[in-house]
Amino acid sequence: MICLSASGVSMRSKYVIICHLHELTLKGKNRGRFERRLYKNIRTQLGGLPFKSVSNKKARVVVAGVDASLWDRYSSRLVGVMGIIGCSLMRITEPTMENIREVVKDLVSQTSFNSFRVSSRRSDKKFPVKTPDINIEIGSMVQKLSGKPVSLRNYDCNIAIEIIEESAFVGMNKERCFGGLPVGSTEKGLSLISSGLDSPVASFHMIRRGMQLDYIHFHSAPATSPQSIENVEKLVDRLCHYQIESTLYIVPLLKIQEKIMKHAVDSNWVILFRRAMLKLATKIAHKNRINVLVTGESVGQVSSQTISNIRSVDHASDLPILRPLAGTNKDEIMELAKKIETYNISNLPHQDCCTFFLPPSPETKSKLDLVLMDESKIDLGNLMEDAENNTEIKTIKYNYEEAT
Ligand code: ATP
Ligand code: MG
Protein backbone atom coordinates (compact mmCIF):
# COMPACT_ATOMS: atom_id res chain seq x y z
CA MET A 1 0.00 0.00 0.00
CA ILE A 2 1.64 3.23 -1.10
CA CYS A 3 -0.14 6.47 -0.41
CA LEU A 4 0.62 9.37 -2.71
CA SER A 5 -0.69 12.88 -2.45
CA ALA A 6 -4.00 13.43 -4.21
CA SER A 7 -2.88 16.99 -4.85
CA GLY A 8 0.33 15.78 -6.47
CA VAL A 9 2.45 17.89 -4.06
CA SER A 10 5.91 16.48 -3.31
CA MET A 11 5.47 14.04 -0.43
CA ARG A 12 9.04 14.17 0.74
CA SER A 13 8.65 16.76 3.45
CA LYS A 14 5.38 15.35 4.76
CA TYR A 15 6.49 11.78 5.29
CA VAL A 16 8.84 10.16 7.78
CA ILE A 17 9.69 6.55 8.54
CA ILE A 18 9.33 5.56 12.16
CA CYS A 19 11.37 2.57 13.31
CA HIS A 20 10.41 0.93 16.58
CA LEU A 21 13.27 -0.25 18.75
CA HIS A 22 13.32 -3.81 20.04
CA GLU A 23 15.22 -4.80 23.18
CA LEU A 24 17.39 -1.68 23.07
CA THR A 25 14.70 -0.08 25.19
CA LEU A 26 15.73 -2.44 28.03
CA LYS A 27 19.34 -1.22 27.99
CA GLY A 28 20.51 0.92 30.85
CA LYS A 29 23.49 3.26 30.99
CA ASN A 30 25.08 2.00 27.77
CA ARG A 31 21.95 2.46 25.65
CA GLY A 32 23.51 5.46 23.88
CA ARG A 33 26.28 3.29 22.46
CA PHE A 34 23.77 0.79 21.04
CA GLU A 35 21.63 3.60 19.61
CA ARG A 36 24.55 5.29 17.90
CA ARG A 37 25.45 2.00 16.25
CA LEU A 38 21.82 1.56 15.17
CA TYR A 39 21.65 5.03 13.56
CA LYS A 40 24.91 4.33 11.73
CA ASN A 41 23.57 0.99 10.43
CA ILE A 42 20.29 2.60 9.30
CA ARG A 43 22.17 5.33 7.42
CA THR A 44 24.37 2.72 5.72
CA GLN A 45 21.40 0.51 4.77
CA LEU A 46 19.56 3.48 3.29
CA GLY A 47 22.61 4.63 1.30
CA GLY A 48 21.55 5.87 -2.15
CA LEU A 49 17.90 6.46 -1.14
CA PRO A 50 16.72 9.99 -0.32
CA PHE A 51 16.49 10.93 3.38
CA LYS A 52 17.50 13.96 5.41
CA SER A 53 18.18 12.75 8.91
CA VAL A 54 18.05 9.81 11.31
CA SER A 55 17.18 10.86 14.85
CA ASN A 56 15.80 9.64 18.12
CA LYS A 57 12.29 10.39 19.34
CA LYS A 58 10.97 8.70 22.49
CA ALA A 59 12.25 5.12 21.92
CA ARG A 60 11.76 5.40 18.19
CA VAL A 61 14.08 6.27 15.35
CA VAL A 62 12.69 8.83 12.93
CA VAL A 63 14.01 8.91 9.37
CA ALA A 64 12.99 12.28 7.97
CA GLY A 65 12.85 13.68 4.44
CA VAL A 66 11.92 10.40 2.74
CA ASP A 67 10.20 9.94 -0.62
CA ALA A 68 6.95 8.04 0.04
CA SER A 69 6.77 6.64 -3.48
CA LEU A 70 9.91 4.60 -2.70
CA TRP A 71 8.46 2.95 0.43
CA ASP A 72 8.97 -0.61 -0.83
CA ARG A 73 12.66 0.07 -1.30
CA TYR A 74 13.08 1.69 2.12
CA SER A 75 11.22 -1.11 3.86
CA SER A 76 13.12 -3.94 2.19
CA ARG A 77 16.38 -2.28 3.27
CA LEU A 78 15.20 -1.62 6.83
CA VAL A 79 14.20 -5.28 7.30
CA GLY A 80 17.95 -5.88 7.13
CA VAL A 81 18.67 -3.63 10.12
CA MET A 82 18.96 -5.64 13.32
CA GLY A 83 17.66 -3.86 16.43
CA ILE A 84 14.36 -2.63 15.05
CA ILE A 85 11.16 -4.64 15.37
CA GLY A 86 9.13 -2.75 12.77
CA CYS A 87 9.13 0.29 10.52
CA SER A 88 6.21 2.40 9.28
CA LEU A 89 5.77 5.06 6.66
CA MET A 90 3.89 7.91 8.37
CA ARG A 91 2.52 11.32 7.49
CA ILE A 92 3.47 14.00 9.97
CA THR A 93 1.12 16.76 11.10
CA GLU A 94 0.42 19.13 14.00
CA PRO A 95 -1.14 17.20 16.90
CA THR A 96 -4.83 18.14 16.77
CA MET A 97 -7.80 15.84 16.20
CA GLU A 98 -8.81 17.95 13.23
CA ASN A 99 -5.45 17.46 11.52
CA ILE A 100 -5.41 13.75 12.31
CA ARG A 101 -8.92 13.37 10.80
CA GLU A 102 -7.82 15.18 7.63
CA VAL A 103 -4.73 13.02 7.13
CA VAL A 104 -6.67 9.81 7.78
CA LYS A 105 -9.36 10.90 5.28
CA ASP A 106 -6.70 11.59 2.66
CA LEU A 107 -4.95 8.24 3.22
CA VAL A 108 -8.21 6.24 3.27
CA SER A 109 -9.37 7.86 0.01
CA GLN A 110 -6.28 6.47 -1.76
CA THR A 111 -6.27 2.97 -0.29
CA SER A 112 -8.44 -0.10 -0.78
CA PHE A 113 -8.99 -2.61 2.03
CA ASN A 114 -11.60 -5.08 3.28
CA SER A 115 -11.42 -4.47 7.01
CA PHE A 116 -9.39 -2.22 9.24
CA ARG A 117 -8.46 -1.26 12.75
CA VAL A 118 -7.12 1.92 14.33
CA SER A 119 -4.25 1.66 16.80
CA SER A 120 -3.13 4.85 18.42
CA ARG A 121 -0.40 5.60 20.94
CA ARG A 122 0.05 8.77 22.88
CA SER A 123 3.45 9.37 24.41
CA ASP A 124 2.51 13.01 24.95
CA LYS A 125 -0.04 12.78 27.76
CA LYS A 126 -0.81 16.50 27.31
CA PHE A 127 -2.74 15.60 24.18
CA PRO A 128 -6.34 16.05 25.38
CA VAL A 129 -7.92 12.90 23.87
CA LYS A 130 -7.13 9.48 25.34
CA THR A 131 -6.06 6.66 23.01
CA PRO A 132 -9.30 4.57 23.26
CA ASP A 133 -11.26 7.69 22.36
CA ILE A 134 -8.98 8.45 19.40
CA ASN A 135 -9.51 4.86 18.18
CA ILE A 136 -13.30 5.13 18.50
CA GLU A 137 -13.58 8.55 16.87
CA ILE A 138 -11.26 7.83 13.93
CA GLY A 139 -12.62 4.27 13.58
CA SER A 140 -16.22 5.40 13.17
CA MET A 141 -15.14 8.09 10.69
CA VAL A 142 -13.27 5.52 8.56
CA GLN A 143 -16.24 3.11 8.77
CA LYS A 144 -18.55 5.80 7.37
CA LEU A 145 -16.08 6.85 4.65
CA SER A 146 -15.15 3.36 3.46
CA GLY A 147 -18.19 1.27 4.38
CA LYS A 148 -15.74 -1.39 5.64
CA PRO A 149 -15.94 -3.10 9.04
CA VAL A 150 -13.56 -2.80 11.97
CA SER A 151 -11.77 -6.06 12.77
CA LEU A 152 -9.30 -5.98 15.61
CA ARG A 153 -7.76 -9.35 14.67
CA ASN A 154 -8.33 -10.05 10.98
CA TYR A 155 -7.74 -6.60 9.52
CA ASP A 156 -5.89 -5.97 6.28
CA CYS A 157 -5.38 -2.28 7.02
CA ASN A 158 -3.96 -0.94 10.26
CA ILE A 159 -4.30 2.79 10.68
CA ALA A 160 -1.54 3.73 13.11
CA ILE A 161 -1.62 7.06 14.92
CA GLU A 162 1.24 8.13 17.19
CA ILE A 163 1.33 11.34 19.13
CA ILE A 164 4.89 12.09 20.13
CA GLU A 165 5.89 15.43 21.64
CA GLU A 166 4.82 18.24 19.30
CA SER A 167 3.86 16.02 16.33
CA ALA A 168 1.20 13.53 15.29
CA PHE A 169 2.16 10.71 12.91
CA VAL A 170 -0.40 8.81 10.86
CA GLY A 171 0.30 5.82 8.62
CA MET A 172 -0.96 2.57 7.15
CA ASN A 173 2.21 0.91 5.89
CA LYS A 174 4.07 -1.19 8.39
CA GLU A 175 6.77 -3.76 7.84
CA ARG A 176 7.82 -6.27 10.51
CA CYS A 177 11.56 -6.46 11.12
CA PHE A 178 13.71 -8.99 12.98
CA GLY A 179 14.47 -7.07 16.19
CA GLY A 180 17.54 -8.08 18.21
CA LEU A 181 20.61 -5.87 18.63
CA PRO A 182 22.37 -3.64 16.08
CA VAL A 183 25.16 -5.40 14.21
CA GLY A 184 28.51 -4.30 15.55
CA SER A 185 27.29 -3.85 19.12
CA THR A 186 28.64 -7.29 20.13
CA GLU A 187 32.17 -8.64 19.55
CA LYS A 188 32.95 -10.23 16.16
CA GLY A 189 32.60 -13.94 15.38
CA LEU A 190 33.82 -16.41 12.77
CA SER A 191 31.09 -18.67 11.41
CA LEU A 192 31.80 -22.08 9.88
CA ILE A 193 29.51 -22.10 6.90
CA SER A 194 28.64 -24.97 4.59
CA SER A 195 26.22 -24.65 1.69
CA GLY A 196 23.59 -26.57 3.71
CA LEU A 197 20.51 -25.24 5.44
CA ASP A 198 21.67 -24.95 9.04
CA SER A 199 24.85 -22.89 9.18
CA PRO A 200 23.37 -19.81 7.39
CA VAL A 201 20.47 -19.85 9.86
CA ALA A 202 22.87 -20.26 12.80
CA SER A 203 24.84 -17.31 11.44
CA PHE A 204 21.71 -15.20 11.20
CA HIS A 205 20.86 -15.95 14.85
CA MET A 206 24.20 -14.48 15.90
CA ILE A 207 23.91 -11.51 13.52
CA ARG A 208 20.59 -10.78 15.23
CA ARG A 209 22.47 -10.75 18.54
CA GLY A 210 24.53 -7.86 17.15
CA MET A 211 27.48 -9.93 15.96
CA GLN A 212 29.41 -8.89 12.88
CA LEU A 213 30.44 -12.22 11.33
CA ASP A 214 33.24 -13.33 9.08
CA TYR A 215 32.78 -16.73 7.42
CA ILE A 216 34.98 -19.74 6.77
CA HIS A 217 34.18 -22.49 4.28
CA PHE A 218 36.12 -25.73 3.69
CA HIS A 219 35.95 -27.49 0.34
CA SER A 220 37.29 -30.68 -1.20
CA ALA A 221 37.79 -29.44 -4.77
CA PRO A 222 38.67 -30.89 -7.20
CA ALA A 223 37.22 -34.12 -5.73
CA THR A 224 33.93 -32.28 -5.18
CA SER A 225 32.39 -29.80 -7.61
CA PRO A 226 33.06 -26.06 -7.06
CA GLN A 227 29.29 -25.64 -6.66
CA SER A 228 29.52 -25.60 -2.83
CA ILE A 229 31.87 -22.60 -3.00
CA GLU A 230 29.57 -20.72 -5.38
CA ASN A 231 26.58 -21.48 -3.15
CA VAL A 232 28.43 -20.32 -0.04
CA GLU A 233 29.33 -17.05 -1.76
CA LYS A 234 25.64 -16.54 -2.56
CA LEU A 235 24.71 -17.35 1.05
CA VAL A 236 27.24 -14.91 2.47
CA ASP A 237 26.03 -12.27 0.02
CA ARG A 238 22.48 -12.82 1.28
CA LEU A 239 23.61 -12.71 4.93
CA CYS A 240 25.39 -9.43 4.20
CA HIS A 241 21.95 -7.92 3.73
CA TYR A 242 21.76 -8.11 7.53
CA GLN A 243 25.34 -7.17 8.37
CA ILE A 244 26.41 -4.99 5.42
CA GLU A 245 29.79 -6.55 4.65
CA SER A 246 31.92 -9.50 5.53
CA THR A 247 35.08 -11.49 4.84
CA LEU A 248 34.84 -15.06 3.54
CA TYR A 249 37.77 -17.46 3.97
CA ILE A 250 37.71 -20.37 1.52
CA VAL A 251 40.00 -23.16 2.67
CA PRO A 252 41.09 -26.27 0.70
CA LEU A 253 40.71 -29.39 2.87
CA LEU A 254 41.14 -32.25 0.39
CA LYS A 255 44.78 -33.12 1.09
CA ILE A 256 44.16 -33.16 4.85
CA GLN A 257 41.12 -35.38 4.36
CA GLU A 258 43.05 -37.78 2.14
CA LYS A 259 45.77 -38.18 4.77
CA ILE A 260 43.22 -38.72 7.53
CA MET A 261 41.43 -41.36 5.42
CA LYS A 262 44.70 -43.13 4.76
CA HIS A 263 45.78 -43.41 8.40
CA ALA A 264 42.76 -43.20 10.72
CA VAL A 265 40.02 -45.68 11.62
CA ASP A 266 37.22 -44.94 9.15
CA SER A 267 34.58 -44.47 11.85
CA ASN A 268 36.62 -41.48 13.11
CA TRP A 269 37.07 -39.74 9.76
CA VAL A 270 34.32 -37.16 10.14
CA ILE A 271 35.40 -36.28 13.69
CA LEU A 272 38.99 -35.83 12.55
CA PHE A 273 37.89 -33.73 9.53
CA ARG A 274 35.92 -31.54 11.91
CA ARG A 275 38.84 -31.22 14.31
CA ALA A 276 41.08 -30.14 11.43
CA MET A 277 38.45 -27.58 10.37
CA LEU A 278 38.20 -26.21 13.90
CA LYS A 279 41.99 -25.97 14.26
CA LEU A 280 42.26 -23.98 11.01
CA ALA A 281 39.25 -21.82 11.89
CA THR A 282 40.74 -21.12 15.33
CA LYS A 283 44.06 -20.10 13.78
CA ILE A 284 42.38 -17.70 11.36
CA ALA A 285 40.18 -16.34 14.15
CA HIS A 286 43.18 -15.63 16.40
CA LYS A 287 45.01 -13.98 13.52
CA ASN A 288 42.07 -11.63 13.02
CA ARG A 289 41.39 -11.02 16.73
CA ILE A 290 38.12 -12.92 16.68
CA ASN A 291 37.26 -14.59 19.97
CA VAL A 292 34.37 -16.89 19.12
CA LEU A 293 33.36 -19.50 16.51
CA VAL A 294 29.81 -20.26 15.35
CA THR A 295 28.49 -23.54 13.89
CA GLY A 296 25.10 -24.81 12.72
CA GLU A 297 24.93 -28.04 14.72
CA SER A 298 21.62 -29.11 16.20
CA VAL A 299 21.87 -31.80 18.86
CA GLY A 300 20.88 -35.22 17.51
CA GLN A 301 19.91 -33.92 14.05
CA VAL A 302 22.35 -36.29 12.33
CA SER A 303 24.38 -39.13 13.80
CA SER A 304 27.56 -37.00 13.91
CA GLN A 305 25.94 -34.35 16.11
CA THR A 306 25.89 -36.24 19.40
CA ILE A 307 27.16 -34.79 22.67
CA SER A 308 30.13 -37.21 22.73
CA ASN A 309 31.13 -36.13 19.21
CA ILE A 310 30.64 -32.46 20.03
CA ARG A 311 33.01 -32.94 22.96
CA SER A 312 35.63 -34.69 20.81
CA VAL A 313 35.42 -31.93 18.21
CA ASP A 314 35.33 -28.96 20.63
CA HIS A 315 38.54 -30.07 22.24
CA ALA A 316 40.43 -29.03 19.06
CA SER A 317 39.83 -25.32 19.74
CA ASP A 318 40.62 -23.02 22.63
CA LEU A 319 37.82 -20.66 21.57
CA PRO A 320 34.23 -20.78 22.72
CA ILE A 321 31.98 -22.33 20.05
CA LEU A 322 28.44 -21.02 19.81
CA ARG A 323 25.79 -23.37 18.43
CA PRO A 324 22.63 -21.27 18.29
CA LEU A 325 20.66 -24.12 16.68
CA ALA A 326 21.62 -26.69 19.34
CA GLY A 327 18.09 -26.89 20.71
CA THR A 328 16.04 -26.20 17.59
CA ASN A 329 14.08 -28.53 15.27
CA LYS A 330 14.49 -28.84 11.52
CA ASP A 331 11.09 -27.24 10.78
CA GLU A 332 11.98 -24.20 12.91
CA ILE A 333 15.28 -23.91 11.06
CA MET A 334 13.51 -24.20 7.69
CA GLU A 335 10.95 -21.56 8.62
CA LEU A 336 13.64 -19.03 9.49
CA ALA A 337 15.70 -19.97 6.40
CA LYS A 338 12.67 -19.04 4.27
CA LYS A 339 12.19 -15.72 6.10
CA ILE A 340 15.82 -14.68 5.70
CA GLU A 341 15.84 -15.95 2.10
CA THR A 342 18.68 -18.45 2.40
CA TYR A 343 16.39 -21.48 1.95
CA ASN A 344 16.40 -21.56 -1.86
CA ILE A 345 20.17 -21.06 -2.04
CA SER A 346 20.77 -23.87 0.47
CA ASN A 347 18.55 -26.13 -1.63
CA LEU A 348 20.74 -25.71 -4.71
CA PRO A 349 22.65 -28.92 -5.50
CA HIS A 350 26.02 -29.15 -3.74
CA GLN A 351 28.53 -31.65 -2.34
CA ASP A 352 29.75 -31.00 1.19
CA CYS A 353 33.36 -31.87 1.99
CA CYS A 354 32.46 -34.04 5.00
CA THR A 355 29.42 -35.85 3.68
CA PHE A 356 31.20 -36.58 0.39
CA PHE A 357 33.68 -38.82 2.24
CA LEU A 358 31.22 -40.28 4.72
CA PRO A 359 32.43 -43.70 5.99
CA PRO A 360 29.98 -46.66 6.06
CA SER A 361 29.42 -46.41 9.82
CA PRO A 362 30.55 -43.09 11.35
CA GLU A 363 31.19 -42.99 15.09
CA THR A 364 28.21 -41.64 17.03
CA LYS A 365 29.62 -42.01 20.56
CA SER A 366 33.26 -41.11 20.19
CA LYS A 367 35.70 -41.27 23.11
CA LEU A 368 38.00 -38.26 23.25
CA ASP A 369 41.09 -40.25 24.32
CA LEU A 370 40.68 -42.70 21.41
CA VAL A 371 40.14 -39.86 18.94
CA LEU A 372 43.27 -38.12 20.21
CA MET A 373 45.25 -41.35 19.98
CA ASP A 374 44.10 -41.87 16.38
CA GLU A 375 44.92 -38.25 15.53
CA SER A 376 48.39 -38.44 17.10
CA LYS A 377 49.38 -41.08 14.51
CA ILE A 378 48.88 -38.60 11.66
CA ASP A 379 51.28 -35.77 11.01
CA LEU A 380 49.18 -33.00 9.48
CA GLY A 381 51.70 -30.23 10.22
CA ASN A 382 52.72 -29.19 6.72
CA LEU A 383 49.32 -29.88 5.24
CA MET A 384 47.66 -27.59 7.79
CA GLU A 385 50.15 -24.87 6.95
CA ASP A 386 49.55 -25.38 3.21
CA ALA A 387 45.78 -25.16 3.71
CA GLU A 388 46.21 -21.90 5.58
CA ASN A 389 48.58 -20.47 2.96
CA ASN A 390 46.24 -21.46 0.12
CA THR A 391 43.18 -19.93 1.74
CA GLU A 392 41.34 -17.59 -0.58
CA ILE A 393 40.05 -14.42 1.11
CA LYS A 394 37.07 -12.55 -0.33
CA THR A 395 35.38 -9.38 0.83
CA ILE A 396 31.66 -9.55 0.22
CA LYS A 397 29.45 -6.46 0.33
CA TYR A 398 25.72 -6.44 -0.11
CA ASN A 399 24.78 -4.78 -3.38
CA TYR A 400 21.84 -2.54 -2.48
CA GLU A 401 21.29 -1.10 -5.92
CA GLU A 402 21.02 -4.56 -7.46
CA ALA A 403 18.76 -5.78 -4.70
CA THR A 404 16.16 -3.01 -4.80
P1 ATP B 1 24.68 -27.47 7.51
O2 ATP B 1 23.29 -27.56 6.99
O3 ATP B 1 25.03 -26.14 8.07
O4 ATP B 1 25.67 -28.03 6.53
P5 ATP B 1 24.48 -30.00 8.72
O6 ATP B 1 23.23 -30.35 9.41
O7 ATP B 1 24.70 -30.53 7.35
O8 ATP B 1 24.70 -28.42 8.75
P9 ATP B 1 26.99 -31.05 9.41
O10 ATP B 1 27.32 -31.36 7.99
O11 ATP B 1 27.17 -32.10 10.44
O12 ATP B 1 25.58 -30.50 9.68
O13 ATP B 1 27.86 -29.81 9.84
C14 ATP B 1 27.78 -29.27 11.14
C15 ATP B 1 28.35 -27.87 11.13
O16 ATP B 1 29.73 -27.92 10.78
C17 ATP B 1 27.71 -26.99 10.06
O18 ATP B 1 26.51 -26.40 10.50
C19 ATP B 1 28.80 -25.96 9.85
O20 ATP B 1 28.82 -24.99 10.88
C21 ATP B 1 30.06 -26.82 9.97
N22 ATP B 1 30.43 -27.30 8.63
C23 ATP B 1 30.07 -28.44 8.01
N24 ATP B 1 30.62 -28.50 6.78
C25 ATP B 1 31.34 -27.38 6.62
C26 ATP B 1 32.14 -26.85 5.56
N27 ATP B 1 32.31 -27.48 4.43
N28 ATP B 1 32.74 -25.65 5.76
C29 ATP B 1 32.57 -24.96 6.92
N30 ATP B 1 31.83 -25.42 7.92
C31 ATP B 1 31.21 -26.60 7.80
MG1 MG C 1 26.44 -29.83 6.04
Give me the helix-helix angle, 307-314 and 368-376, nearest 10°: 40
Q: Cα(375)–Cα(274) distance, rounded to whole angstroms?
A: 12
Per-residue pLDDT, 404: 53
- Report the greatest alpha carbon distance in the chain: 83
Confidence of residue 403 (pLDDT cuts 50, 70, 90): low
Domains of the chain, start order: 11-176 (3.30.2130.30), 189-403 (3.40.50.620)
Per-residue pLDDT, 402: 58
Q: Cα(74)–Cα(84) distance, rounded to whole angstroms?
A: 14
Per-residue pLDDT, 4: 41
Distance from the CA of 273 to the center of ligand 2, in angstroms? 13
Q: Cα(67)–Cα(74) distance, rounded to whole angstroms?
A: 9
Over 70: is that where the pLDDT of 365 sits? yes
- Among the residue ranges 26-30, 79-83, 206-210, 214-218, the one predicted with the least confidence is 26-30
pLDDT digits (tens, 9 = 90+) for 250-259: 999 999 999 9
Higher-confidence residue: 5 or 122?
122
Q: What is the mean pLDDT of residues 136-157?
A: 94
pLDDT digits (tens, 9 = 90+) for 155-182: 999 999 999 888 999 999 889 999 999 9
158, β-bridge pairs? 117
pLDDT digits (tens, 9 = 90+) for 261-310: 999 988 899 999 999 999 999 999 999 999 999 999 988 777 678 899 99
Distance from the CA of 283 to the center of ligand 2, in angstroms? 22
Over 80: is that where the pLDDT of 6 sits? no
Phi and psi based region of residue 144 (left: phi greater than 0; alpha: psi -120 to 50; beta: remaining): alpha
Over 90: is that where the pLDDT of 352 sits? no
Per-residue pLDDT, 10: 37
**Number of residues in the chain:** 404
Per-residue pLDDT, 327: 94
Q: What is the mean pLDDT of residues 214-238?
A: 93
CA angle at 347 for the pair 345 and 349, rounded to the nearest 5°: 100
C-alpha 128: how far from its chain's center?
Answer: 41
Give pairs for 332-339: CB < 8 Å, separation 24+: 333/197, 333/198, 333/201, 333/298, 334/197, 336/201, 336/204, 337/197, 337/200, 337/201
Relative to the CA of 191, which ligand 1 atom is closest? Answer: 20
Relative to the CA of 232, which ligand 1 atom is closest? Answer: 28
Q: Cα(356)–Cα(258) distance, rounded to whole angstroms?
A: 12
Averaged pLDDT score across all residues of the chain = 90
pLDDT digits (tens, 9 = 90+) for 18-48: 999 988 877 778 888 899 999 999 999 999 9
Q: Is the peptide bond between 128 and the residue preceding it cis, with omega within 30 degrees of 0?
A: no
pLDDT digits (tens, 9 = 90+) for 45-93: 999 999 999 998 888 999 999 999 999 999 999 999 999 999 999 999 9
Per-residue pLDDT, 381: 83
Per-residue pLDDT, 13: 45
Phi/psi of residue 132, each to 5°? -60, -35
> Are 17 and 89 a contacting pair, CB within 8 Å?
yes
pLDDT digits (tens, 9 = 90+) for 375-398: 999 999 899 999 999 999 999 998
Confidence of residue 401 (pLDDT cuts 50, 70, 90): low
Enumerate residues lining ligand 1, CB below 6 A: 192-194, 196-199, 217-218, 295-297, 301-302, 304-305, 352-354
Mutate to test the pocket of ligand 1, among 194, 302, 319 (most ligand atoms within 8 A of CB): 194
